[in-house]
Chains A and B, each alone.
Chain A
């Protein structure tokens, strides 16, 4: 190791599932020359699974992760089905897909809005926005932006003011508010924050959509080798309707808020403008 290099250890890495440790070496110009990532927890779920009845793998493998819980559940059960050459009914496949995709959509929305977006959107910046202009600006990225009337934006702005004044609030704590690396205009910040708040509700609805066919989330409980168990829910028009209603609402949100907001953000943070 050269004398001018420095080693930095970051442990724990927060905002992830699992115990992750990163060690890096940087040279005199603060450029990383070497990096190591290591998981600091071993539980041995594979060892625990060994020797058990293959049909039981789902409920145990599922516990590998409480965040992407359904994929371990489904994958382990599918693996058993593949090994025994079992074909599952078409309806079961559909239900499995509906659950997986609901979680997929939810993960994306959360990841984008609630875990990442505040690195790009300045909450306090939105307070200086002109609401009429914001409503108009939003139309650059969507023909019918999601919940975009002047009045609604005005109300959102008021809420944000109250929110910022409220002091110590987990959701928005620890931001770099007002930093000049933020590139959105006050109006763009407001449009984005409007959808940030809407997304909170949308996520909650998606959790319900998962639970309709999977019993609960995290750690859903609706699969067995050979198919799904939630046949009563599948045959219940009210449950189908509830699910459909949520998905339609989410789709609307994605088309009129999520995708336009992404385009807006990408445009503002392009490397060359």
Chain B
């Protein structure tokens, strides 16, 4: 007689089922089901997702749900992760002092220095002064050109122009002399009049030379050595631009401010380690490494980092119905990054690259309420439901069905919120670790470094390869291969970087080249995932020496990532470790490991009896 046993793995994102037909203690046939997890993992809302997943597997097996003899659900690892980004420097321009600007098509060429003046009052200008004309929206390009030409004939020295509209080239083409013209200055009304201003436009293909050099700015404005020191962040922000405007107001100042970003206090097994967020990720990670077994982590109150750690604690407390004070943060991961931030007091949405630190935290509590979920599921299904083994152990049992693996085996499960590693030794003994920082953190890094402010887009950049639409008929993939099409490509993608999603393309709005986006994507994965994998290996290792591992397999959703598998193989090959994506039961790929483990562990329990 055959019995039907189902293993159900409720993950943060998906609920997976492995349904087995068992005859005389041997697995005859196995089918799978997958459905999105409904509600937060470990709550009764999960039941809908579980039923969907079970039904899919049962349909494939061609049995009704009522014929199930046993449903085994995982004892979920009560781990939750969260992350935050903390900017530690900020460029502030006070009194609209000095701005940089880089429109697509500036006009003219060269460097012009003079007092800012509204073009409509240029008739009142005097011959002894030098001027920079400020052209508001109301004055169109031909009128602006005409006024400047007339004033030149009158002997007025107009040395450059700043335009609100995108008319720079049009004005330049109608002038009798060549002067630098900057256009697309969004907040032209904020340009102070009667102030000394320098405008620089470089030739096509060149970068500005004078205004990106602190001494160049000092020369233009006659700055003192002390003042020159202050404008370094400005010069830095202008490097690589084709054009720039710098205006000096008497009281104006620009500075790079270091924001007090707070401290993290890591309660180790022996003592408390403190690390200042301002000093970057390295100091925090050193403290984490020194602390060893972390008892809890707190942050300075009233700072971003403090707030974020308390938020994680609060969420976990609410989820598990525990007191806030009982929830402990068990791991922390920090990563240095550089993010574009809008300059405070800017005139045309200028950005400056600021240093920031990304932080992920992980919380462990008592068991999630899986018993309650099991009871609810049993009454819904009217079939027996039991809680199987620990998630990590189940994952290893499932992963061991991958052809070419053997014990001792280390299984890495890179999820959305945490990176879990479980080592099974030859005798079957297991050791599991859970680390903060995983898929979601990579998404956050991509989002921040590209300045997208769109987590959905960042997630897609993380998941799928890129291509550049080179003409209306062909694209170049990120590896350099060219693909041609019979039908013309939609004009909205023309000359853009697109994400090659399986269900269609998506244009990336960021003004970054494909190479830069790709590099940021890979670096984010390297900084978070690869580093975390190495950290996980060190933690489970007995000797601290990575060469002791032989087989490492990746399971879980993140291992479906198109490039992560290869990145891990590359990184671990260095230590002589065989690593790669799992192929559960030889057919499932990296999915279904825990569900399969739940099913198989039931069979082996029976054998023992």
| Pairing of A with B | no
